Chains A and B, each alone.
Chain A
Amino acid sequence: MIGPRQRRAKRVAFIQQALVLLAVGLLAVLIARNTVINLQARGLASGFDFLWQEAGFKIAFALIPVDATSTYGRVFVAGLLNSLLIAALGIIAATLLGFLLGIARVSPSPPLRFLTRGYVELVRNLPLLLHLLLWQAVILRSLPTVKDAIGLGGIAFLSNRGLYLPMPLLGNQANLLLSALGAAAVMAAIAWILHRRARSHGEAPPLLARGLSAGSLLLLVLVLIGLDWQVPQLSGFDYRGGLKLMPEFVSLIAALTLYNAAFIAEIVRAGIQSVDKGQREAAAALGLSSRQILRLVIVPPALRVIVPPIANQYTHIIKASSLATVVGFPDLVNVFLGTSLNQTGRAVEIVAMTAAVYLVLCAAVALATEAFNRRVALVER
Chain B
Amino acid sequence: MHAPSSSRLTPSGVLATARAYPFSTFLTVGLLYVALWLTWRIVDWAVIEATWQAGDRAGCNPEGACWAFILNRLPQFTFGFYPEAERWRAWIVLLAPPALLLLAMAPDFKGRRWIIAGGFIAYPVAALALLSGGSLGLSHVPSDQWGGLLLTMIVGIGAFVLSFPLAILLALARLSKLPALRWLTIGFIDFWRGMPLVAVLFMSVIMLPLFLPPGFEISRPGLALTGLTLYSSAYLAEVIRGGLQSVGRGQTEAALALSFGFWRTQTYIVMPQALRAVLPGIVNSVIALFKDTTYVMIVGLFDLLNIVTAALSDARWLGLATEGYVFVGVIYWLFCFVLSHVSSRLEAQQSRVVRQDQILTGSTQ
Contact = CB atoms under 8 A, between A and B. Distances in A.
Direct A–B touching, Cβ under 8 Å: yes
Nearest to A42: B210
B329 interface: yes
Contacts of A21: 180, 184
Interface stretch (A129-137, A146-154, A187-195): A129-137
B309 interface: yes
- Main secondary structure, interface of B, reads helix
Given A323-B198, A355-B195, A358-B195, A38 B1 contact: no
A207 interface: no
Interface in B194-214: 194-199, 202-203, 206-207, 209-214
B291 interface: yes
B354 interface: no
Interface in A10-53: 13, 16-17, 20-21, 24, 31, 34-35, 37-39, 41
A269 B179 CA distance: 39
Contact of A333 (B27, B178, B199, B305): B199
A319 B197 contact: yes
A109 B24 contact: yes
A141 B319 contact: yes
Given A130-B325, A326-B297, A337 B199 contact: yes
B337 interface: yes
B281 to A, nearest CB: 13
B191 A125 contact: no
Max chain A Cβ within 10 angstroms of own Cβ: one of B180, B197, B210, B295: B210
Interface string A357-376: 01101110000000000000
Contacts of B291: 126-128
B34 interface: yes
Contacts of B210: 34-35, 38-39, 347-348
Interface in A77-135: 107-112, 114-115, 121-122, 124-130, 133-134
- Main secondary structure, interface of A, reads helix
A126 B333 contact: yes
Contacts of B27: 109, 111-112
A168 interface: no
A125 B335 CA distance: 8
A242 B329 CA distance: 37
- Contact size range, A: 35 or more
Nearest to A290: B2
Interface string B325-360: 100110011001100100000000000000000000
B52 to A, nearest CB: 22
B3 A108 contact: yes
A338 B305 contact: no
A111 B1 contact: no
Contact of A108 (B24, B32, B199, B214): B24
A322 B203 CA distance: 13
B170 to A, nearest CB: 14
A325 interface: yes
A351 interface: yes
A347 B207 contact: yes
Contact of B194 (A128, A320, A338, A358): A358
22 contacts: A16-B178, A17-B180, A17-B181, A20-B180, A34-B214, A35-B210, A35-B211, A108-B2, A109-B28, A111-B27, A124-B336, A125-B336, A126-B333, A129-B297, A130-B305, A134-B321, A138-B322, A318-B196, A320-B196, A326-B198, A348-B207, A362-B193
Interchain residue pairs A-B with the least CB separation, the first 4? A108-B3, A137-B321, A125-B336, A319-B196
Interface of B: 1-4, 24, 27-28, 31-32, 34-35, 177-181, 184, 190-191, 193-199, 202-203, 206-207, 209-214, 287, 291-292, 294-295, 297-298, 305, 309, 312, 319, 321-322, 325, 328-329, 332-333, 336-337, 340
